[in-house]
Structure 1
Amino acid sequence: MKNTKKFVSVVLAFCMLGTTTAVTSMAATTDAETVSGGSVAVDTTATKALEELDANYRYDGDDLGVTYTKDATTFKVWSPTATEIKVNIFTKGSDDEQGASKVASYRLEKEDATGIWKIKLTGEWKDYYYTYTITVVNPTTGETTTSETQDVYSKAVGVNGNRSMIVDLDSTDPDGWDKDTHVFQDEVTDSTVWELHVKDFSYDASSGVSEENRGKYLAFTENGTTLNGEGNISTCIDYLKELGVNTVQLNPFYDYASVNEAGNDEQFNWGYDPQNYNVPEGSYSSNPYDGNVRIKECKEMIQALHDAGISVVMDVVYNHTYSTDSCFQKTVPNYYYRLNRAGKFSNGSGCGNECATERAMYRNYVIQSCLYWVNEYHIDGFRYDLMGIMDVETMNQLRDALDQVDNRVTMWGEAWTGGDSYHPTNTCDGTKFIPAIQSNAGSLSERIGIFNDSVRDAIKGGAMSIANTGFVQGSKGAAKGISFGLFANSNGNYKWKAKAPSQSVTYADCHDNAALYDQLVASTASGDYGNRYEDLVKMNKMAGAIVNTSQGISFMLAGQEMARTKYGDTNSYKSSPEINKINWNNILEYQDLVSYYKGLYEIRKNFTPFTAMDKSYSSAYTLNKSMGSAFSNQVAFTVKNDQPDEWQTMAVIHNSAKKAEEVRLKDESCTEWVIIANDKTAGLKKLGEVSGSTFTVPAISTVIAVDKASFDKLALDDGMGQVTVNYVYEKTGENLVDPEVIQGTIGTGYTTAENSSISNTYILSKVEGPATGTYSETPAVVTYYYDDYVPESFKNADFNNDGAIDVRDVTLMQSIITDPASVDADTYAKIDVNYDTRKDVNDVTALQTYTTGKPVSSGSVTVNHFYTAEDGTVEKITPSTVISGRVGDEYTTTSYRTIGYTVDTTKTPKNVNGHIPYGVDMSVDYYYVASSMDVKLHVKHNGSLTWNPSLWLWGSDTNGVDADNYTTSGEWPGDTLTEMDENGWYVKDFTCTKAGSYNIIVSDTGTNQTIDYKGFIDNELWIVIDDSNVMGGTYLTFYTENPDNNPNAPIAVPIA
Structure 2
Amino acid sequence: MKFNSNNSAPHQFIMNNKVRKSMSEPLQITSVKIVKENLIQIEFSHDAILLQPKDIQIYGDFIIKKIRKEANRLFLLTSRLDFRKNYYIAIKDKIKKPVDPGALLDQIYSDKSLGYSIEGDQMVFRLFAPRANRVKLILFENHSDTEGQEYEMQSDKDGVWEIALPGPLGGKYYGYKVAGPQDPTELFQPDKTIADPYSRAVCTKNTFLHEAKSIIIKTDDYDWEGDTPLNYGWKDLIIYEMHVRDMTAHPSALAKEKGTYHGLLEPQTRGGLNHIKELGVNAVELLPCQEFANIEIPYQVEVNGEVNTWNPYSQNHWGYMTSYFFAPESYYASGGNLKTGEFSGIEGNQVREFKDMVKEFHRAGIAVIMDVVYNHVSHYDLNPLKLIDKKYYFRLDSDLNFTNLSGCGNDFKTERPMARRLILDSIKFWLEEYHIDGFRFDLATMIDWETIEQIIEMAKKINPHVILIAEPWGGGKYDLAGFSERGWAAWNDLFRNGVKGENPFNGLGWIFGHLWGGNHFDTITNFVKGTLRSQGGPFILPEHSVNYLESHDGYTLGDFIRLGAGEVKPDERITDLTKHITLTPRQLQLHKLAATFLLTSQGMVMIGEGQEFARSKVIAPTNAPDPDVGKLDHNSYNKDNETNWLNYEHKEINRELFDFYQKLIALRKQHPAFRRTPPEKIQFLKSDSEFSLGFWLAKEYSKDSKSFVVLLNANPEKQVTFSLPEGTWRKVVDSHRAELYEFGNPLKQQAVLPPASVMILTQ
Residue matched to 1:382: 439
Residue matched to 2:106: 54
- The equivalent position to 1:600 in structure 2, one of 664, 675, 678, is 664
For the structure 1 residues 333 and 239, does the alpha-carbon distance in structure 2 shift closer, same or farther, using more than 3 Å as the test? closer
Alignment of 1:681-692 (within 5 A): 681-692=737-748
SS in 1 for 2:323: strand
- How far, CA to CA, are the matches of 1:411 and 1:355 in structure 2? 20
Displacement of 1:378 in angstroms is 1.4
Asked if 1:699 corresponds to 2:755, the answer is: yes
Asked if 1:461 corresponds to 2:535, the answer is: no
Displacement of 1:592 in angstroms is 1.3
SS in 1 for 2:419: helix
Identity %: 26
Partners of 2:293 and 2:316 within 8 A in 1? no
Displacement of 1:284 in angstroms is 1.2
The structure having more radius of gyration, on CA atoms, is: 1
SS in 2 for 1:695: strand
Partners of 2:490 and 2:544 within 8 A in 1? yes
* Matched letter for residue 180 of structure 2: V
Asked if 1:87 corresponds to 2:137, the answer is: yes
- How far, CA to CA, are the matches of 2:370 and 2:123 in structure 1? 30
- How far, CA to CA, are the matches of 2:393 and 2:279 in structure 1? 43
Partners of 2:204 and 2:213 within 8 A in 1? no
Asked if 1:587 corresponds to 2:633, the answer is: no
- How far, CA to CA, are the matches of 1:389 and 1:328 in structure 2? 18
Asked if 1:558 corresponds to 2:601, the answer is: no
Partners of 1:441 and 1:499 within 8 A in 2? no
* Matched letter for residue 217 of structure 2: D
- How far, CA to CA, are the matches of 1:67 and 1:331 in structure 2? 20
Displacement of 1:64 in angstroms is 0.6
Residue matched to 1:470: 509
TM-score by length of 1: 0.56
For the structure 1 residues 623 and 340, does the alpha-carbon distance in structure 2 shift closer, same or farther, using more than 3 Å as the test? farther
SS in 1 for 2:295: coil
Displacement of 1:47 in angstroms is 9.6
1:134-164 CA distance string (max 9 Å, x none): 1124899688763532111111111246333
For the structure 1 residues 198 and 19, does the alpha-carbon distance in structure 2 shift closer, same or farther, using more than 3 Å as the test? same
SS in 1 for 2:331: coil
- How far, CA to CA, are the matches of 1:623 and 1:657 in structure 2? 18
Alignment of 1:912-927 (within 5 A): none
Displacement of 1:648 in angstroms is 4.7
Residue matched to 1:909: none
* Matched letter for residue 114 of structure 2: L
- The equivalent position to 1:511 in structure 2, one of 527, 549, 552, is 552
Partners of 2:139 and 2:150 within 8 A in 1? yes
- How far, CA to CA, are the matches of 1:17 and 1:533 in structure 2? 71
Asked if 1:617 corresponds to 2:678, the answer is: yes
Displacement of 1:565 in angstroms is 0.8
1:221-243 CA distance string (max 9 Å, x none): 211434xxxxxxxx432232222
Partners of 2:141 and 2:173 within 8 A in 1? yes
- How far, CA to CA, are the matches of 1:200 and 1:577 in structure 2? 8
Alignment of 1:840-855 (within 5 A): none
Asked if 1:549 corresponds to 2:600, the answer is: yes
Residue matched to 1:870: none
Residue matched to 2:566: 525
Displacement of 1:704 in angstroms is 0.9
Alignment of 1:961-1000 (within 5 A): none
SS in 1 for 2:133: strand
Displacement of 1:537 in angstroms is 1.5
Residue matched to 1:102: 147
Asked if 1:202 corresponds to 2:242, the answer is: no
Q: Which moved more, 1:318-327 or 1:68-77?
A: 68-77
Asked if 1:163 corresponds to 2:212, the answer is: yes
SS in 2 for 1:149: coil
- How far, CA to CA, are the matches of 2:669 and 2:457 in structure 1? 28
Displacement of 1:289 in angstroms is 3.9
* Matched letter for residue 295 of structure 1: V
SS in 1 for 2:421: helix
Displacement of 1:360 in angstroms is 1.1
- How far, CA to CA, are the matches of 1:341 and 1:266 in structure 2? 31
SS in 2 for 1:198: coil
Partners of 1:620 and 1:641 within 8 A in 2? no
SS in 2 for 1:217: coil
* Matched letter for residue 451 of structure 1: W
Alignment of 1:776-795 (within 5 A): none
1:160-192 CA distance string (max 9 Å, x none): 46333342334773xx4243322231x112111
- The equivalent position to 2:366 in structure 1, one of 301, 307, 310, is 310
TM-score by length of 2: 0.77
Displacement of 1:246 in angstroms is 0.7
1:486-545 CA distance string (max 9 Å, x none): 111115455x41010111100111110000010111111214542321211121111111
Displacement of 1:585 in angstroms is 1.1
Partners of 1:81 and 1:138 within 8 A in 2? no
Partners of 1:155 and 1:164 within 8 A in 2? no
SS in 1 for 2:420: helix
Residue matched to 1:182: 229
1:241-297 CA distance string (max 9 Å, x none): 222101011101111112399xxx996610001111111112112212424212122
For the structure 1 residues 193 and 142, does the alpha-carbon distance in structure 2 shift closer, same or farther, using more than 3 Å as the test? closer
For the structure 1 residues 140 and 336, does the alpha-carbon distance in structure 2 shift closer, same or farther, using more than 3 Å as the test? farther
Partners of 2:178 and 2:387 within 8 A in 1? yes
Displacement of 1:339 in angstroms is 2.5
Structure 2 stretches lacking a partner, 5+ long: 1-31, 48-68, 74-88, 90-96, 298-312, 336-343, 569-573, 575-579, 619-631
Residue matched to 2:291: 255
Asked if 1:498 corresponds to 2:528, the answer is: no
Alignment of 1:312-331 (within 5 A): 312-323=368-379, 326-331=383-388
Partners of 1:467 and 1:522 within 8 A in 2? no
Residue matched to 1:426: none
For the structure 1 residues 216 and 316, does the alpha-carbon distance in structure 2 shift closer, same or farther, using more than 3 Å as the test? same
Partners of 1:207 and 1:584 within 8 A in 2? yes
- The equivalent position to 1:64 in structure 2, one of 92, 111, 114, is 114
Residue matched to 1:762: none
SS in 1 for 2:325: strand
For the structure 1 residues 104 and 358, does the alpha-carbon distance in structure 2 shift closer, same or farther, using more than 3 Å as the test? same
Displacement of 1:84 in angstroms is 0.7
SS in 2 for 1:240: helix
For the structure 1 residues 600 and 242, does the alpha-carbon distance in structure 2 shift closer, same or farther, using more than 3 Å as the test? same
Q: What's the Cα RMSD here? A: 3.3
Partners of 2:185 and 2:400 within 8 A in 1? no
For the structure 1 residues 158 and 18, does the alpha-carbon distance in structure 2 shift closer, same or farther, using more than 3 Å as the test? farther
- How far, CA to CA, are the matches of 2:506 and 2:154 in structure 1? 61
1:871-906 CA distance string (max 9 Å, x none): xxxxxxxxxxxxxxxxxxxxxxxxxxxxxxxxxxxx
* Matched letter for residue 602 of structure 2: Q
SS in 2 for 1:356: coil
For the structure 1 residues 400 and 487, does the alpha-carbon distance in structure 2 shift closer, same or farther, using more than 3 Å as the test? same
1:362-391 CA distance string (max 9 Å, x none): 111111101111111111110101111112
- How far, CA to CA, are the matches of 2:33 and 2:612 in structure 1? 60
For the structure 1 residues 414 and 543, does the alpha-carbon distance in structure 2 shift closer, same or farther, using more than 3 Å as the test? same
For the structure 1 residues 493 and 389, does the alpha-carbon distance in structure 2 shift closer, same or farther, using more than 3 Å as the test? farther
- How far, CA to CA, are the matches of 2:102 and 2:695 in structure 1? 54
Partners of 2:693 and 2:712 within 8 A in 1? yes
- How far, CA to CA, are the matches of 2:394 and 2:528 in structure 1? 39
- How far, CA to CA, are the matches of 1:203 and 1:582 in structure 2? 8
Displacement of 1:22 in angstroms is 5.3
Partners of 2:235 and 2:604 within 8 A in 1? yes
Alignment of 1:227-306 (within 5 A): 235-259=271-295, 269-287=317-335, 288-306=344-362
For the structure 1 residues 466 and 308, does the alpha-carbon distance in structure 2 shift closer, same or farther, using more than 3 Å as the test? farther
Alignment of 1:736-815 (within 5 A): none
Partners of 1:195 and 1:250 within 8 A in 2? yes
1:571-624 CA distance string (max 9 Å, x none): 000024110010111221111111111111122123324323xxx712212224
